[in-house]
Amino acid sequence: DTGVSQDPRHKITKRGQNVTFRCDPISEHNRLYWYRQTLGQGPEFLTYFQNEAQLEKSRLLSDRFSAERPKGSFSTLEIQRTEQGDSAMYLCASSFDRGAGGDNEQFFGPGTRLTVL
Amino acid sequence: DAKTTQPPSMDCAEGRAANLPCNHSTISGNEYVYWYRQIHSQGPQYIIHGLKNNETNEMASLIITEDRKSSTLILPHATLRDTAVYYCIVRAPNAGNMLTFGGGTRLMVKP
Protein backbone atom coordinates (compact mmCIF):
# COMPACT_ATOMS: atom_id res chain seq x y z
CA ASP A 1 0.00 0.00 0.00
CA THR A 2 1.50 3.34 -1.01
CA GLY A 3 -0.96 5.62 0.75
CA VAL A 4 -0.40 7.92 3.71
CA SER A 5 0.48 6.06 6.87
CA GLN A 6 0.36 7.20 10.47
CA ASP A 7 1.80 5.76 13.63
CA PRO A 8 0.58 4.94 16.18
CA ARG A 9 -3.07 4.40 15.34
CA HIS A 10 -4.10 4.79 18.96
CA LYS A 11 -2.42 6.48 21.91
CA ILE A 12 -3.62 6.70 25.47
CA THR A 13 -1.69 8.97 27.78
CA LYS A 14 -2.03 10.69 31.10
CA ARG A 15 -2.51 14.40 31.40
CA GLY A 16 0.80 16.22 31.45
CA GLN A 17 2.71 13.67 29.41
CA ASN A 18 4.28 14.39 26.03
CA VAL A 19 3.26 12.46 22.93
CA THR A 20 4.65 12.30 19.41
CA PHE A 21 2.93 11.10 16.26
CA ARG A 22 4.48 10.21 12.95
CA CYS A 23 3.13 10.61 9.42
CA ASP A 24 4.62 9.11 6.27
CA PRO A 25 3.15 10.79 3.18
CA ILE A 26 2.82 9.40 -0.32
CA SER A 27 6.41 9.34 -1.53
CA GLU A 28 6.30 11.87 -4.35
CA HIS A 29 4.10 14.36 -2.47
CA ASN A 30 5.78 17.60 -1.50
CA ARG A 31 2.99 18.95 0.72
CA LEU A 32 2.03 17.53 4.07
CA TYR A 33 -0.85 18.65 6.29
CA TRP A 34 -1.95 18.00 9.84
CA TYR A 35 -5.58 18.20 10.95
CA ARG A 36 -7.39 17.53 14.19
CA GLN A 37 -10.86 16.07 14.46
CA THR A 38 -12.98 15.91 17.59
CA LEU A 39 -16.01 13.69 17.94
CA GLY A 40 -18.89 14.69 15.69
CA GLN A 41 -17.00 17.49 13.97
CA GLY A 42 -15.24 17.81 10.66
CA PRO A 43 -11.45 17.90 10.57
CA GLU A 44 -9.79 21.22 11.46
CA PHE A 45 -6.56 22.38 9.89
CA LEU A 46 -3.50 22.65 12.12
CA THR A 47 -0.48 23.22 9.89
CA TYR A 48 1.13 22.35 6.58
CA PHE A 49 4.56 21.88 5.06
CA GLN A 50 5.89 22.49 1.59
CA ASN A 51 8.86 20.11 1.52
CA GLU A 52 10.62 20.80 4.84
CA ALA A 53 9.28 24.33 5.30
CA GLN A 54 6.35 24.88 7.62
CA LEU A 55 4.34 27.49 5.75
CA GLU A 56 1.18 27.97 7.76
CA LYS A 57 -0.04 27.33 11.27
CA SER A 58 -3.58 27.56 12.58
CA ARG A 59 -4.48 29.42 15.74
CA LEU A 60 -5.45 25.99 17.04
CA LEU A 61 -1.76 25.10 17.17
CA SER A 62 -0.85 26.30 20.63
CA ASP A 63 2.69 26.60 21.95
CA ARG A 64 2.43 23.05 23.28
CA PHE A 65 2.21 21.73 19.74
CA SER A 66 5.18 21.44 17.42
CA ALA A 67 5.46 19.85 14.01
CA GLU A 68 8.51 19.05 11.98
CA ARG A 69 9.33 17.64 8.59
CA PRO A 70 13.12 17.62 8.73
CA LYS A 71 13.97 16.07 5.36
CA GLY A 72 10.83 16.89 3.49
CA SER A 73 9.59 13.34 3.79
CA PHE A 74 7.97 12.08 7.02
CA SER A 75 6.62 14.46 9.63
CA THR A 76 6.17 14.37 13.37
CA LEU A 77 3.62 16.16 15.53
CA GLU A 78 4.50 16.53 19.19
CA ILE A 79 2.15 17.64 21.94
CA GLN A 80 3.79 18.64 25.19
CA ARG A 81 2.06 18.61 28.57
CA THR A 82 -1.07 17.04 27.16
CA GLU A 83 -4.47 18.17 28.37
CA GLN A 84 -7.78 16.35 28.28
CA GLY A 85 -8.92 18.80 25.61
CA ASP A 86 -6.24 17.44 23.31
CA SER A 87 -8.16 14.18 22.99
CA ALA A 88 -8.99 13.90 19.31
CA MET A 89 -8.15 12.15 16.07
CA TYR A 90 -5.01 13.62 14.51
CA LEU A 91 -5.06 13.27 10.74
CA CYS A 92 -2.23 13.68 8.29
CA ALA A 93 -2.69 14.33 4.59
CA SER A 94 -0.36 14.83 1.65
CA SER A 95 -0.60 16.27 -1.83
CA PHE A 96 1.54 17.14 -4.80
CA ASP A 97 1.86 20.82 -5.61
CA ARG A 98 2.40 21.38 -9.32
CA GLY A 99 3.62 24.86 -8.62
CA ALA A 100 1.81 26.58 -11.46
CA GLY A 101 -1.63 27.00 -10.03
CA GLY A 102 -4.39 24.47 -10.30
CA ASP A 103 -5.99 22.01 -8.01
CA ASN A 104 -4.36 19.37 -5.90
CA GLU A 105 -6.37 16.87 -3.93
CA GLN A 106 -5.22 15.84 -0.51
CA PHE A 107 -4.89 12.20 0.46
CA PHE A 108 -5.47 11.39 4.10
CA GLY A 109 -3.99 8.81 6.40
CA PRO A 110 -6.04 6.72 8.83
CA GLY A 111 -5.32 9.06 11.74
CA THR A 112 -3.97 8.70 15.26
CA ARG A 113 -6.61 8.65 17.95
CA LEU A 114 -5.33 10.31 21.11
CA THR A 115 -7.02 9.85 24.46
CA VAL A 116 -5.76 11.94 27.35
CA LEU A 117 -6.84 10.64 30.75
CA ASP B 1 -12.81 30.05 0.83
CA ALA B 2 -16.56 30.22 0.35
CA LYS B 3 -18.88 28.69 2.91
CA THR B 4 -20.95 25.62 2.09
CA THR B 5 -24.30 24.41 3.40
CA GLN B 6 -25.30 20.75 3.44
CA PRO B 7 -28.19 18.86 5.01
CA PRO B 8 -26.98 17.14 8.20
CA SER B 9 -28.27 13.72 7.24
CA MET B 10 -29.86 11.69 4.46
CA ASP B 11 -31.03 8.15 3.92
CA CYS B 12 -30.80 6.15 0.73
CA ALA B 13 -31.94 2.66 -0.20
CA GLU B 14 -29.24 0.24 -1.27
CA GLY B 15 -28.93 0.08 -5.04
CA ARG B 16 -30.61 3.42 -5.59
CA ALA B 17 -28.92 6.66 -6.53
CA ALA B 18 -27.84 8.91 -3.67
CA ASN B 19 -28.05 12.61 -4.50
CA LEU B 20 -26.23 14.81 -2.00
CA PRO B 21 -26.82 18.56 -2.35
CA CYS B 22 -24.51 21.40 -1.44
CA ASN B 23 -25.12 25.14 -1.51
CA HIS B 24 -22.19 27.49 -2.07
CA SER B 25 -23.83 30.73 -3.06
CA THR B 26 -20.74 32.87 -2.31
CA ILE B 27 -18.38 30.85 -4.47
CA SER B 28 -15.81 32.88 -6.39
CA GLY B 29 -15.04 32.45 -10.05
CA ASN B 30 -11.80 30.57 -9.48
CA GLU B 31 -12.94 28.32 -6.65
CA TYR B 32 -13.35 24.60 -7.17
CA VAL B 33 -15.96 22.37 -5.54
CA TYR B 34 -14.43 19.35 -3.83
CA TRP B 35 -16.15 16.37 -2.29
CA TYR B 36 -14.63 14.12 0.34
CA ARG B 37 -16.19 11.41 2.43
CA GLN B 38 -15.26 9.91 5.76
CA ILE B 39 -16.22 6.41 6.67
CA HIS B 40 -16.40 5.77 10.38
CA SER B 41 -12.98 5.68 12.08
CA GLN B 42 -11.10 6.36 8.85
CA GLY B 43 -9.47 9.43 7.37
CA PRO B 44 -11.35 11.46 4.75
CA GLN B 45 -11.26 10.10 1.22
CA TYR B 46 -11.18 12.28 -1.87
CA ILE B 47 -14.11 11.63 -4.22
CA ILE B 48 -14.25 14.21 -6.97
CA HIS B 49 -13.86 17.89 -7.74
CA GLY B 50 -14.91 20.33 -10.44
CA LEU B 51 -14.89 23.97 -11.47
CA LYS B 52 -17.95 24.50 -13.65
CA ASN B 53 -18.39 21.51 -15.88
CA ASN B 54 -20.01 18.33 -14.69
CA GLU B 55 -17.50 15.66 -13.76
CA THR B 56 -17.66 11.90 -13.49
CA ASN B 57 -15.22 9.31 -12.24
CA GLU B 58 -15.41 5.73 -11.06
CA MET B 59 -16.81 6.76 -7.71
CA ALA B 60 -19.36 9.45 -8.42
CA SER B 61 -20.70 12.24 -10.61
CA LEU B 62 -20.61 15.92 -9.76
CA ILE B 63 -23.27 18.21 -11.15
CA ILE B 64 -22.61 21.94 -10.78
CA THR B 65 -25.37 24.41 -11.60
CA GLU B 66 -24.76 26.96 -14.31
CA ASP B 67 -24.53 29.82 -11.80
CA ARG B 68 -22.20 27.64 -9.70
CA LYS B 69 -24.10 28.44 -6.53
CA SER B 70 -24.91 24.82 -5.81
CA SER B 71 -23.85 21.32 -6.71
CA THR B 72 -24.96 17.73 -6.30
CA LEU B 73 -22.84 14.68 -5.72
CA ILE B 74 -24.41 11.57 -7.21
CA LEU B 75 -23.57 8.04 -6.17
CA PRO B 76 -25.35 6.14 -8.94
CA HIS B 77 -25.87 2.82 -7.15
CA ALA B 78 -25.36 3.26 -3.44
CA THR B 79 -24.09 0.31 -1.43
CA LEU B 80 -23.92 -0.22 2.32
CA ARG B 81 -20.21 0.64 2.13
CA ASP B 82 -21.13 4.15 0.97
CA THR B 83 -22.50 4.92 4.43
CA ALA B 84 -20.31 7.83 5.52
CA VAL B 85 -20.16 11.55 6.19
CA TYR B 86 -19.85 13.47 2.91
CA TYR B 87 -18.16 16.86 2.91
CA CYS B 88 -18.58 19.51 0.25
CA ILE B 89 -15.67 21.98 0.24
CA VAL B 90 -15.09 25.06 -1.86
CA ARG B 91 -11.47 25.96 -2.39
CA ALA B 92 -9.37 28.25 -4.53
CA PRO B 93 -6.83 26.51 -6.79
CA ASN B 94 -3.38 26.07 -5.40
CA ALA B 95 -4.54 27.58 -2.14
CA GLY B 96 -1.77 25.46 -0.81
CA ASN B 97 -3.11 25.09 2.59
CA MET B 98 -6.09 23.86 4.43
CA LEU B 99 -9.30 22.22 3.47
CA THR B 100 -12.10 23.79 5.47
CA PHE B 101 -14.53 21.07 6.46
CA GLY B 102 -18.06 21.92 7.52
CA GLY B 103 -20.45 19.57 9.22
CA GLY B 104 -21.04 17.45 6.15
CA THR B 105 -23.97 15.17 5.36
CA ARG B 106 -24.25 11.86 7.14
CA LEU B 107 -25.48 9.44 4.48
CA MET B 108 -27.03 6.24 5.72
CA VAL B 109 -27.50 3.57 3.06
CA LYS B 110 -30.14 1.10 4.16
CA PRO B 111 -30.76 -2.42 2.88
pLDDT in tens, A77-87: 999 999 999 99
pLDDT in tens, A21-62: 999 999 989 999 999 999 989 999 999 999 999 988 888 888
> A46, A105, A107: which to substitute to probe chain B, counting the most B Cβ within 10 Å?
A105
The pLDDT value recorded for residue A71 is 87
Phi, psi of B107 (to 5 degrees): -95, 125
The minimal CB distance from A42 to the residues B49, B91, B101 is found for: B101
Q: Does B42 touch chain A (CB under 8 A)?
A: yes
By C-alpha distance, the chain B residue nearest A98 is: B94
Q: Does B44 touch chain A (CB under 8 A)?
A: yes
pLDDT in tens, B58-109: 999 999 999 999 999 999 999 999 999 999 999 876 665 678 898 899 999 9
Q: What whole-number distance in Å separates Cα of residue B100 and Cα of residue B111?
A: 32
CA angle B95, A37, B1 (to 5 degrees): 25
Phi, psi of A85 (to 5 degrees): -70, -10
